[in-house]
Structure 1
Amino acid sequence: MDPEHLGLDEYQSRAIRTDRTRSSSGLDLAVLGLFGETGSLLSETKKKQRDARSYLGYEESVVEEMGDVLWYLAAVAGHAGLRLSEIAGRRAAEGAASTFAALQPQRALPLVVPTAAFERTLLRLAGDVGRLAAMAGRGDLAADPTLPKLLEAVFDSLASAADEAGVTLVEAAVRNLAKAEDRWPTERTVPPLFDDTFPPEERLPRSLTVDIFERTGGNDRRYVVQRCNGIFIGDRLTDNIMKPDDYRFHDAFHYAYAAVLGWSPVTRALFRLKRKSEVRVDEGEDGARAILIEEGVATFVFGEAKRLDFFEGQRPGDLGFGFLRSVRQFVRGYEVESRPLWLWEEAILAGNEAFRFLREKRRGRLQLDLLGRRMSVEELPE
């Protein structure tokens, strides 16, 4: 995609491929989204004013929030049967509405602090979106003859805010499309496994069967053991918490990361498959710190999943965008940071599916298929 030639209508058609706001309520859900993202954009400005020295990444946040506002604006227009180029308003009259680059021929300048003009335009944008929300609350917005003009006002305020912020809407649009593709891709193509180029003895097994089952020891203390190819592996696992919550079965998460993401320092350590032929990879990707990071990911996911019945009934596309981004934030600087959010979601769902099975049956057999990027769980014979 060439940003310089990205058209408004091309962006809209690509954006609405990931539109999940269509419902029997018409435009209401998309309008709520537009209202919420506009509020988030204002919130970023407030944070910068309040925490001027400590708040980092302001410009990046503004670009992202503008992209989100643009996405919802495109969705609202699409639901109403309008093209984005049709609501370019004043700018359309100037003959510059076909591409984002033509809308803003100037180069973007870094936005260090919110300017007074930017703040005023953001408040104008908020007012325009507020009027749109008020109209939606009164009835069928799609049939309102004033809708095109109101959407035109919203677009103009957004474009003006971008001008004053030194941000180009094309940058916001491109980043927004990449963000949507990261989460809801048009085509799911898995990347190569991280250890494809390493010696066979340093690769995670492409197919692996692991038996996990519970035992009861002295004082009725329950623990979990694991077995692979008839050999017991790892340590006996307990919940390590005052109130038992079956966390002792959480290795299912690590195996899911190995199977779906092709990444698991914990699994590598368990099977002694560290990539020692390259010292930097051995220490930086497979070492103790990476193991602790993965354990942190598993603990965080477990805590969130526990509140939501371990994602029972959830399917790909259902997990929260913010939650998935927080998970990936844990692994910044490590190779697995490059894995798309949709693949993280599949790994998390596979791990929780296995965990629910183990929690109910107290035993199970995990089948890892790294080539197929999946993990399944089945009954373990007595």
Structure 2
Amino acid sequence: MDTAPLSLNGYQAGAIRTDRTRGKGTGLDLAVLGLFGETGSLLSETKKKQRDARSYLGYEASVVEEMGDALWYLAVIADHAGLRLGDLAGRDLAGGPEPTFADVQPQRALPLHVPTVAFEHTLLQLAGAVGRLAALGARGDLAGSPDLPERLSAVFGLLVAAANEAGVTLEQAAMRNLAKAEDRWPATRAAPPLFDEAFPDEERLPRALTIDIFERTGGNDRRYVVQRCNGIFIGDRLTDNIMKPDDYRFHDAFHYAYAAVLGWSPVTRALFRLKRKSEARVDEGQDGARAILIEEGVATFVFGEAKQLGFFEGQRPGDLGFAFLKSVRQFVRGYEVEACPLWLWEEAILAGNEAFRFLREKRRGRLRLDLVGRKMLVEDLPT
């Protein structure tokens, strides 16, 4: 295991790999706005902890994450301006060997449970320094300003001071930030093994599956959806179950996308009677009624968000919101699919919505699931 200290410039190189601000906005405006926002989030976390001291959980983790995000924007701004993060560490370090986070913050960190007065004061100073940086940008070309290195150094110094007072290390924040970025925008996309790989064939989701989905009209012009696999009709007739129809009856496309891309779908397992009964704990804990309800909750949440955004038409991998994907994964906390990275969740959601849009337009279609290739395709259903 590599235990070498993380260098400031090494972190910056990792951070800019996931930089999506370049070329957007004017100059450094977007990155500066991001830094301003993350500083505000740090202040917000402190406020919430003070207000809801006993009921607010996850404060320390939130502080570490927000510091990592602020550091990311600082590294990106420096890169856009042609500066190295190590150059912002101060004269004593900038001119020597490759500076590390341990060089700027050598002390051991202590857990933070309650915001201290010093921490609050430093955060306000940090907000002021970032505000002055934004004001400098509002007056002209921030990237070409001779004051920019000094301004960025001031922000970096206050970020170090805030971390000291918070009892966390910027190296910890930086490492978590890089892991977070890799979870969302990996250098190499390699899906984890399928969850049922070690189970008997009769308990595995089929590695290839074809599902026909089409709409019927019953009495009183009541529309419903039926499904067919290998010539056999499966599942129940589905309706929208809402006062104002919205075609939710086609939503099983989401479940099949989860099965194909994530290798996870308690709903699909139940439909095809593929529960992993050879292991009682997995049968009950991962494939049982509660897991089915969780998946239905995920599908409903995703549908509700997608409905407001044209069911993600025109969206490609990397486009879906980070907060949205994190919220989706929070639904499945404690279940095996929690291990799937955010980028894989995004691909599953996009595949499900692509199929849903197709079915919504044509009222019928054929889904082809490929669990080995981690994809699902939709095509016309022969008449």
| Band of TM-score, shorter chain | over 0.9
Q: Does 1:326 align with 2:327?
A: yes
Post-superposition Cα deviations, 1:316-350, rounded to whole Å, max 9, x if no partner, equal: 00000000000000000000000000000000000
* Distance (Å, rounded) in 2 between the aligned partners of 1:44 and 1:316: 30
Structure 1: which amino acid aligns with 2:79? G
The equivalent residue for 2:267 is 266
Map residues 3-18 of structure 1 onto 2, 5 A cutoff: 4-18=4-18
Q: What residue ranges of structure 1 are gaps of 5+ in the alignment?
A: none
The equivalent residue for 2:175 is 174
Structure 2: which amino acid aligns with 1:103? V
SS of the residue corresponding to residue 227 of structure 1 reads: strand
SS of the residue corresponding to residue 253 of structure 1 reads: helix
* Distance (Å, rounded) in 2 between the aligned partners of 1:69 and 1:371: 39
The equivalent residue for 1:46 is 47
TM-score of the two chains, using structure 2 as the length reference: 0.98
Aligned-pair Cα RMSD in Å: 1.2
SS of the residue corresponding to residue 278 of structure 2 reads: coil
The equivalent residue for 1:89 is 90
SS of the residue corresponding to residue 142 of structure 1 reads: coil
Tell me if the contact between 1:3 and 1:174 (Cα under 8 Å) persists in the aligned partners.
no
Tell me if the contact between 2:86 and 2:94 (Cα under 8 Å) persists in the aligned partners.
no
The equivalent residue for 1:279 is 280
Structure 2: which amino acid aligns with 1:182? D
Post-superposition Cα deviations, 1:341-374, rounded to whole Å, max 9, x if no partner, equal: 0000000000000000000000000000000000
Post-superposition Cα deviations, 1:65-88, rounded to whole Å, max 9, x if no partner, equal: 000000000000000000000011
Tell me if the contact between 2:88 and 2:94 (Cα under 8 Å) persists in the aligned partners.
no
| Structure 1 residue 2, shift from structure 2 partner | 3.9
Structure 1: which amino acid aligns with 2:8? L
Tell me if the contact between 1:96 and 1:102 (Cα under 8 Å) persists in the aligned partners.
no
SS of the residue corresponding to residue 215 of structure 1 reads: strand
| Structure 1 residue 97, shift from structure 2 partner | 6.9
Q: Does 1:206 align with 2:225?
A: no
The equivalent residue for 1:74 is 75
| Structure 1 residue 92, shift from structure 2 partner | 2.5
**Aligned pair in 2 of structure 1 residues 281, 191: CA closer, same or farther (>3 Å)?**
same
* Distance (Å, rounded) in 1 between the aligned partners of 2:246 and 2:256: 19
The equivalent residue for 1:257 is 258
Tell me if the contact between 2:257 and 2:376 (Cα under 8 Å) persists in the aligned partners.
yes
* Distance (Å, rounded) in 1 between the aligned partners of 2:237 and 2:134: 57
Tell me if the contact between 2:112 and 2:166 (Cα under 8 Å) persists in the aligned partners.
yes
Aligned pairs, number = 382
The equivalent residue for 1:247 is 248
The equivalent residue for 2:369 is 368
The equivalent residue for 2:138 is 137
Structure 2: which amino acid aligns with 1:13? A
**Aligned pair in 2 of structure 1 residues 80, 93: CA closer, same or farther (>3 Å)?**
closer
Post-superposition Cα deviations, 1:49-73, rounded to whole Å, max 9, x if no partner, equal: 1111110111110000000000000
Structure 2: which amino acid aligns with 1:18? T
Post-superposition Cα deviations, 1:279-311, rounded to whole Å, max 9, x if no partner, equal: 000000000000000000000000000000000
Tell me if the contact between 1:227 and 1:233 (Cα under 8 Å) persists in the aligned partners.
yes
* Distance (Å, rounded) in 1 between the aligned partners of 2:128 and 2:160: 15
* Distance (Å, rounded) in 1 between the aligned partners of 2:226 and 2:94: 71
* Distance (Å, rounded) in 2 between the aligned partners of 1:91 and 1:65: 27
The equivalent residue for 2:27 is 26
* Distance (Å, rounded) in 2 between the aligned partners of 1:360 and 1:269: 28
Tell me if the contact between 1:213 and 1:224 (Cα under 8 Å) persists in the aligned partners.
yes
| Structure 1 residue 115, shift from structure 2 partner | 0.5
* Distance (Å, rounded) in 2 between the aligned partners of 1:29 and 1:93: 27
* Distance (Å, rounded) in 2 between the aligned partners of 1:365 and 1:49: 54
Q: Does 1:307 align with 2:308?
A: yes
The equivalent residue for 1:153 is 154
Post-superposition Cα deviations, 1:7-64, rounded to whole Å, max 9, x if no partner, equal: 0000000110000000152211111111111110111011111111110111110000
TM-score of the two chains, using structure 1 as the length reference: 0.98
**Aligned pair in 2 of structure 1 residues 104, 204: CA closer, same or farther (>3 Å)?**
same
Structure 1: which amino acid aligns with 2:23? S
